[in-house]
Homo-oligomer: A and B are copies of this chain.
Amino acid sequence: MSSELTSKVDKEARKRAAAVLRDKFLNLIEQLKKGEPLIMEIPMRTLSNAIYDEKRKLLLLGEKKLKRNFLDLNEARRFMQTALMASIIYDALVNDEYPTIRDLYYRGKHSLVLKSIDGKIISSENTWDEQKESDSVIVDIEVFTSLLREEMLILSKEKGKVVGNLRIRSGNDIIDLSKTGHGAYAIEPTPDLIDFIDVDAEFVLVVEKDAVFQQLHRAGFWKQYKSILITSAGQPDRATRRFVRRLNEELKLPVYILTDADPYGWYIFSVFRIGSISLSYESERLATPDAKFLGVSMSDIFGNAKKKPYLSDIERKNYIIKAKEADIKRAEEIKNYEWFKTKAWQEEINTFLQKKAKLEIEAMASKGLKFLAFQYIPEKIANKDYIS
């Protein structure tokens, strides 16, 4: 692709990633030259090697490593897959390609055929059959090289949106996120390539639901309370998490998360704050250990010794949704997560288990958008009425 079509930032990112990938795999060639067995040492990604770092408040990969030996029959297939995927990613980097994990799956999908001298097929083996396999190999390469997939210019679908008093540089453009009209800025899949130019905001509010984001945006919430308003549109993707983390870490902005009052909402908060167990290798870069759960909390619904509830008896009757079996089960699981074992979270979860009641943010919006935007949210922030 001609140079004007793609950004300079991308070209530099390609060079960096290609160099790391090359170095890491050249080591294997060195082993081969020395007549040593071909072995890759890759950090283990099992639950037993996912460690909750109390101090940094992050879910991290431990020290355990697995050895992948080309000459071990049990490991040869995975070794082949790893080398194949690395070469495909490397080719994509040097050829100005932007693959997705789905097309990396297709790029590598074929049969390795062993034929006899007279051309008969002796054996045939597929490189991989399902995307689950190739995805897992990509993660191996990420932990092996310490390069996130985004740094290797692997793109993905991206749901996160942002508005607020922030100017950024992305690609060749400078974008003013306070000038998006009624629409919003859709975050790029490679948020590490964004430069923050200047900011005039006091906090970040992340809203689980896109429709509530639209309401708060339209009502001028982020203008009234100098803030950056973000939606993850459900379960947050990697880019949205990384973008939020960077706002917190680099711009020193407090981050508040607003979800439904239910175990699914708590889990969304947890993914922002801690990371997910299955992907603890990425937590170090993607999680925001400083994020706060602003609500909707059980005490907003029912009140407590120190606080009046935000809902009247009749509103509770009309708005509360009865928890399902699956919700109860999920809450009991979450209750046992290391990072939910604080007094405040145990209280929150116990109240839920006792009342068996959940509530959507929309119920708060139905009390009036003015109530949600100009009373409930700012009041809770001012009173530090959140859970860490």
Whether A179 lies near B175 (C-beta < 8 A) is yes
> Contacts A4-B223, A156-B211, A362-B106: A183 and B188 contacting too (C-beta < 8 A)?
yes
Q: Given known contacts A97-B369, A102-B362, A109-B318, what 7 new A-B pairs fall within 8 Å (CB)?
A: A5-B224, A9-B182, A99-B369, A103-B365, A155-B211, A156-B214, A185-B186
Kindly report which residue of chain B lies nearest to residue A176, judged by CB atoms: B173
Q: Tell yes or no: A135 within 8 A of B by CB.
A: no
Q: Tell yes or no: A98 within 8 A of B by CB.
A: yes
Chain B's nearest CB lies how many Å from the CB of A47?
29
Q: Tell yes or no: A238 within 8 A of B by CB.
A: no
Binds B, one of A29-37, A163-171, A272-280, A331-339: A163-171
> Would you give the 0/1 interface string for A342-362, flagging 1 where the beta carbon is closer than 8 Å to chain B?
000000000000000000101
Once the chains are docked, how many angstroms separate the CA of A375 from the CA of B171? 24
Report 6 cross-chain contacts, Cβ distance below 8 Å, ordered by A residue.
A100-B214, A106-B319, A106-B360, A155-B215, A156-B211, A158-B214
**What is the copy number of this chain in the assembly?**
2
> Contacts A171-B181, A219-B6, A362-B100: A155 and B224 contacting too (C-beta < 8 A)?
no
Kindly report which residue of chain B lies nearest to residue A170, judged by CB atoms: B181
Set of chain B residues within 8 Å of A170, measured between Cβ atoms: 180-183
Kindly report which residue of chain B lies nearest to residue A220, judged by CB atoms: B5
Once the chains are docked, how many angstroms separate the CA of A210 from the CA of B188? 11
Chain A, range 86-107, C-beta contacts under 8 Å to B: 95-100, 102-107
Set of chain B residues within 8 Å of A6, measured between Cβ atoms: 218-220
Q: Tell yes or no: A209 within 8 A of B by CB.
A: yes
Q: Tell yes or no: A189 within 8 A of B by CB.
A: yes
Max chain B C-beta neighbours (<10 A), residue from A106, A209, A218, A365: A218
> Contacts A180-B185, A183-B186, A185-B183: A318 and B110 contacting too (C-beta < 8 A)?
yes
> Contacts A1-B374, A155-B211, A182-B193: A106 and B218 contacting too (C-beta < 8 A)?
no
Q: Tell yes or no: A299 within 8 A of B by CB.
A: no
> Contacts A181-B175, A186-B184: A210 and B157 contacting too (C-beta < 8 A)?
yes
Set of chain B residues within 8 Å of A363, measured between Cβ atoms: 103, 106
> Contacts A107-B366, A211-B100: A190 and B182 contacting too (C-beta < 8 A)?
yes
Once the chains are docked, how many angstroms separate the CA of A211 from the CA of B103? 10
Q: Tell yes or no: A161 within 8 A of B by CB.
A: yes
Max chain B C-beta neighbours (<10 A), residue from A169, A224, A366: A366
Chain B's nearest CB lies how many Å from the CB of A170?
3
Q: Tell yes or no: A370 within 8 A of B by CB.
A: yes
Whether B98 lies near A218 (C-beta < 8 A) is yes
Whether B172 lies near A106 (C-beta < 8 A) is no
Q: Tell yes or no: A73 within 8 A of B by CB.
A: no
Once the chains are docked, how many angstroms separate the CA of A214 from the CA of B388? 35
Once the chains are docked, how many angstroms separate the CA of A96 from the CA of B181? 17
Chain A, range 188-233, C-beta contacts under 8 Å to B: 188-190, 193-194, 209-212, 214-215, 218-220, 223-224, 233
Set of chain B residues within 8 Å of A7, measured between Cβ atoms: 181-182
Whether B189 lies near A180 (C-beta < 8 A) is no
